A and B are shown apart, each in its own frame.
Chain A
């Protein structure tokens, strides 16, 4: 420890006592993996991605295949998680629902984060009326009850959007295959999601703007867009990365909530939220616990995972968290 501090001062003079220089990514990984739970979270997230991508090969049955002779079966070897009220294999539906979540959650997060970044950067850097306008807009969205707003947007968009897609030959099949619903849910979730991030980025920019290196850049006459993207943005990123990770968990939860309330992803496309509500009415029946718990626990595990990843990233990226 003392050596490390010393070497920090005498850089270059005593190359032999310097700690080995690591590639930034290696250093990042060294600090990230100190948080065991964050590593567990990462493993869960990777499993989630594999399941979503490999759904057709992992799921033993089709997610639409009904078998009315095998309705509401308890877990067995043939059906590891039992079957639902239409005799569909629960495990297969669970696996396919991972693909639904894997499409919706990252897209909604990416769109929301991009909007938040752009608006936050503009508000923080330009200030004045731009700042006031953007902050007022985020005030409005904050005052809206989030889930209700997402519901209203999704419900309003869905028929219009599908009607619009049906006008073009290329996009026609999307409606029947359910992609339109995905786009609707993604739009609704990102519309609700960006203001929080915009405020975070704005705060970052406001505090960074007073730093000498930005003043120096301005004094040198570097154009605004270059200062924004080359100097401000990279320094504002770490908390944003953490927020993205937490936001992924939130988006998975929000998608499930929307489906739970019957908006967004429509049957037969499987979604964890819809599986929970479908099976909820059967909570008194013998096979019910599994039908309810399996999708619920998967959602919970993923929200867990992304929370822990967020913590790990925070410790790895935040210089103040050095331990």
Chain B
């Protein structure tokens, strides 16, 4: 177990090196030269060359990359080229990160608070109307893209019925959170509901549940003391996998609702080919995704003693 964790942690820097190199190379060879973007129409070759030199874009790829790694290790991820000229990338990301974390936390919380009870209900009322409605809702939650649900909700709840503000960010506890949270939370709710339902149905078929029933234990106790615990453990793994999907979803959702998080920052950086921001964002997402999954694996082995890692 200990060796497994050490191995995984040692692999992390290698992973980061590979990922940063790929992103960096894509950035350097990418289209939409940031210098061109910066200068717009009035770009004479001389100015372009001068700015390229200033930004260090005329050096060989490996030199640029080594330089980048060296500075990144000291917390310097370069400066934004086009989105916010001259601002340090680390600062821009730090500013958006807290907003995004709050928004994603709401989405995951929705997933647990709504999804798990729904899944439990669907499992114990199996093959009833409730179960069918839940299943249909789950498929909808998984398959409806956020670029469809967001405009529909906006049109319905913000334009037709002026119930909620159409966007913006006024902190976690404001009405403007509600719409983006629903759009972003639909996926997690669906995934949690589906997994809970499937796990619980499987657990309820187990011998020890039959034994508990034979003992004449009330159904509530069977569920609470025996079935649920075992059904919910596998849900831990979803948390790790969900992180990657959420960030991607936040890309579109934050842009549509005008929320100043890292998703919208990423969208703007991409549109303006601001590669320093994109590279740093990719790294950040990769690190958090990998760390979260490591944590999940360790936690899983801790909660379920049957699991052993070599």
Contacts and interface: CB of A to CB of B under 8 A. Distances in A.
B145 A145 contact: no
Interface stretch (A54-62, A107-115, A291-299): A291-299
Interface string A128-151: 000000001001101111111101
Interface residues of A, number: 44
B151 A283 contact: yes
A257 B145 contact: yes
Contacts of B271: 262
Contacts of A160: 29
A256 B31 contact: no
B290 A143 contact: yes
A145 B248 contact: yes
Contact of A260 (B139, B252, B290): B252
A304 B139 contact: yes
B155 interface: yes
A148 B159 contact: no
Interface in A77-115: none
Contact of B143 (A147, A155, A156, A300): A300
Contact of A303 (B23, B143, B159, B282): B143
A276 B154 CA distance: 14
B151 A280 contact: yes
Main DSSP-derived SS at the B contact region: helix
A40 to B, nearest CB: 12
Nearest to B285: A145
A264 interface: no
Given A283-B159, A292-B155, A148 B145 contact: no
B297 to A, nearest CB: 13
B139 to A, nearest CB: 6
Contacts of B148: 276, 292-293, 296-297, 299-300
Interface residues of B, number: 43
A61 B31 CA distance: 35
B280 interface: no
Contacts of B247: 145
A308 interface: yes
Contact of A299 (B15, B145, B281): B145
Contacts of B298: none
Contacts of B278: 148, 152
A146 B147 contact: no
A307 B159 CA distance: 32
A47 interface: no
Interface string B195-215: 000000000000000000000
Contacts of B143: 249, 253, 300, 303-304, 307
Contacts of A155: 26, 30-32, 270, 273
A283 B159 CA distance: 9
Interface in B221-262: 244, 247-248, 251-252, 256
Interface in B121-146: 139-140, 142-145
A307 B142 contact: yes
Contacts of A256: 145, 147
B237 to A, nearest CB: 14
A148 B248 contact: yes
Interface in A219-270: 249, 253, 256-257, 260-262
B18 interface: yes
Contacts of A144: 19, 22, 282, 285-286
A210 interface: no
Interface in A135-193: 136, 139-140, 142-149, 151-153, 155-156, 158-160
Residue of B140, B147, B267, B289 most packed against chain A (CB within 10 A): B147
B152 interface: yes
A145 B252 contact: no
Contacts of B151: 276, 280, 283, 292, 296
A148 B286 CA distance: 11
A117 interface: no
The 5 A-B pairs of least Cβ separation, nearest first, read: A296-B148, A303-B143, A143-B286, A147-B248, A159-B31
Given A146-B244, A253-B145, 6 more contacts: A143-B15, A152-B282, A155-B32, A260-B252, A261-B251, A262-B271
17 contacts: A136-B11, A140-B15, A142-B244, A143-B285, A145-B247, A152-B282, A153-B26, A159-B31, A261-B252, A280-B151, A283-B159, A292-B152, A293-B152, A296-B145, A296-B148, A300-B148, A304-B139
